[in-house]
Structure 1
Amino acid sequence: MTILMTERLALRPLLPDDAEAYLAIRHHPEVVKWVPKPLPGVIERFAVSWEERRYAPWGVFEGGRLIGHGGLNYVPEFGETEVLWALHPDAWGKGYATEVARASLDYGFETLGLGLIFAIALPDNVASQAVMKRIGLTYRKRVAYRGFKDIVWYDKSRD
């Protein structure tokens, strides 16, 4: 199990015991405005990805409390790896998303040797786009993804 510690956060794979707290965050009305509700079995799919790829989104813990998820996710529709984050609104505005995203980029480029990592967001999600810019991603294009017709795409290559 790959666990990362940042300055203020612990990042570890989600476990079945985390499901109730995790789903409460993912179904929070303010979170659902920006990311789709998870499909059933999401924690199990993350576990499979950890086994197959050595990465998936981590649970993000602050002081031992689950506050969301963040990390890397392979997206077969694009054939690339995404850096992502979704935090409980109580954790917004504290720099946690940037902290998680930076640690995830480092893990992806330095530990896994990935060549490219991207992030996507709704065009009006300016907070996530600000995180993307802070971690060094560059706007590239607009894409359609899982029912969303207009998503902004930022990315960064290891080079």
Structure 2
Amino acid sequence: MTSSEVQAAGASAIRYTGRLTLRQPEAQDIDFIADMFSRNELVAHRPDPRPDTPEESAARLARDTAHWRDHGFGRWAALAGENLVGFGGVTVSKEFKGLNLSYHLHPDYWGQGFATELVMEAIRFGFEDVGTRRIIGLARPANPASRKVLERCGFSLEREVMLHGAPTNLYARER
């Protein structure tokens, strides 16, 4: 699907699930992002498990904003009530066939079902609004929580790939 076809799909900037409000990331989210990616437990499964610097967090937010501008959709900021709990959604993959699912929750909100809720809405959006036939999710073998979320949401392990110099499991869900 081309960028113009994706934009023509008419992505709504705000979506609602049972407990979450999903919206485009905003500049005011930077402090939350910097705090979230400074947490050792959040970055523990990276090839280099070093927390992000404030500049790296700002670059992350800039990439998310640019994706929305370029494609008309992207990773959402996820709020439970008034509290920002994380970010996630689908983005155009440059390396793999299908949209790429990604999600990060602040550790304070782990274990409450928010990741599953966010992922299910991202799947619904990718298939129904964007019209993709395939969504992929990438999880490090050492991150069983991420693997469980993907499996719970109907993804199947397809193969191992090298990503950023480390073995990574590629999961896929077809429409």
Same fold? TM cut 0.5: yes
| In the alignment, structure 1 residue 6 sits paired with structure 2 residue 24 | no
Contact 1:123 1:152 in 2 (8 A): yes
**Cα distance in 1, alignment partners of residues 93 and 112 from structure 2:** 28
| In the alignment, structure 1 residue 17 sits paired with structure 2 residue 28 | yes
Return closer, same or farther for 1:21/1:40 CA change in 2, 3 Å cut-off. Answer: closer
Alignment of 1:1-159 (within 5 A): 2-34=13-45, 37=52, 38=56, 40-148=58-166, 150-158=167-175
Secondary structure of the corresponding residue to residue 129 of structure 1: helix
* TM superposition outliers: structure 1 runs of 4+ over 6 Å: none
Contact 1:22 1:66 in 2 (8 A): no
Q: Aligned-residue CA RMSD in angstroms?
A: 1.6
**Cα distance in 1, alignment partners of residues 25 and 108 from structure 2:** 20
Shift in Å, 1:40 = 4.2
Secondary structure of the corresponding residue to residue 95 of structure 2: coil
Relative contact order, higher structure (CA 8 A, sep 6+): 2
Structure 1 residue ranges without an equivalent (≥5): none
Calculate the TM-score normalised by the size of structure 1.
Answer: 0.91
Which residue type is aligned with residue 77 of structure 1?
Answer: E
Shift in Å, 1:79 = 4.7
Aligned length: 157
Contact 1:14 1:59 in 2 (8 A): yes
Return closer, same or farther for 1:39/1:76 CA change in 2, 3 Å cut-off. Answer: farther
Secondary structure of the corresponding residue to residue 117 of structure 1: strand
Secondary structure of the corresponding residue to residue 41 of structure 1: helix
Structure showing greater Rg? 2
Shift in Å, 1:39 = 5.7
Calculate the TM-score normalised by the size of structure 2.
Answer: 0.83
What is the identity percentage for the equivalent residue pairs of Structure 1 and Structure 2? Answer: 30
